[in-house]
Homo-oligomer: A and B are copies of this chain.
Amino acid sequence: MRVIKYDDIPEKKVETQGAEGVGIRVLISEEDGAPNFIMRRFSVRPGGQTPYHSHSWEHEVFVLSGKGEARQGSSVHELESGSVVLVVPEEEHNFRNTGTEPLVFLCLIPIV
């Protein structure tokens, strides 16, 4: 059993093209012995967003705090604390902070 606090892990800037004001902490990964999927915590500054893109793996998201939107094509879904998002493989998506505080969410992905 491994127990940490999320802020034991330093936040790194996401450098992927299209990411604006996004930080990531990888909380649980294969390096810790996770066999199937990994847990990351993202923080998006007000006005910031993740890239609008798609990929072959899913996202399972839980919003911890802040206000935002999840976009998929012309569909836009409002996000707030307690929102739950499933992005299935190959589905285009992004997450945008529409509020005045950081938009913070967990996003889990499979080990591929």
A contacts, CB < 8 Å to B = 1-7, 27-28, 32-37, 39, 58, 60, 62, 64, 70, 72, 75, 77, 79-80, 82-89, 91, 93, 106, 108, 110
Contact = CB atoms under 8 A, between A and B. Distances in A.
Given A1-B70, A1-B72, A75-B1, A62 B39 contact: yes
Given A37-B60, A62-B39, A106-B106, A32 B86 contact: yes
A46 B89 CA distance: 39
Copies in the complex: 2
Given A1-B93, A6-B83, A27-B62, 10 more contacts: A1-B88, A2-B85, A3-B84, A5-B82, A27-B84, A28-B86, A34-B60, A34-B86, A34-B88, A36-B58
